[in-house]
Amino acid sequence: MTARPSRPPAWAALERALTERRPVRARYHGTERVLCPHALGWKRARAKVLSYQAGSSTEDGRRPDDPRQRWRSMFVDEIEDPVITDSRWETADNYSPETNGIDDLEISV
């Protein structure tokens, strides 16, 4: 396990949303998204989140029609303005905490 740097500002909202199983509305690379965080941890000493994208579009257009293809692995320091919502929590049946793009898993569903 490597030393962890300080947590980016969006971490607290993502961790709370994951714990309470509530969606987060946030901007990622300039695109508004509705995310359901499932795993938080570190990838090469950078905070990372695995989320199910429950709403909005992606950088290259709309969400995939197949719910099993709506997983997004994102660096937390690139997530802006996270707000926990009262919308319905969403997931897909292919979720696995072992296949998340995170080297050092800190918390997961």
Question: In percent, how much of the chain has pLDDT > 90?
Answer: 68
Checking if the pLDDT of 3 tops 70, the result is no
Predicted local distance difference test score (pLDDT) of residue 98: 74
Residue 95 identity (one-letter amino acid)? Y
Q: Confidence band (pLDDT; 50, 70, 90) for 73?
A: very high
Extents of the domains making up the chain = 11-108
Q: Which has the closest alpha carbon to 75: 34, 33, 28, 30?
A: 28
* Mean confidence (pLDDT) of the chain: 88
Q: Where are the beta strands (DSSP E) in 20-102?
A: 24-28, 31-43, 46-56, 71-75, 79-84
Rounded average pLDDT over 40-54: 94
| Two tokens, residue 58 | 């992606």
Residue-wise pLDDT for 18-37, tens only, equals: 999 999 999 999 999 999 99
CB distance 109 to 6 below 8 Å: no
Rounded average pLDDT over 56-66: 63
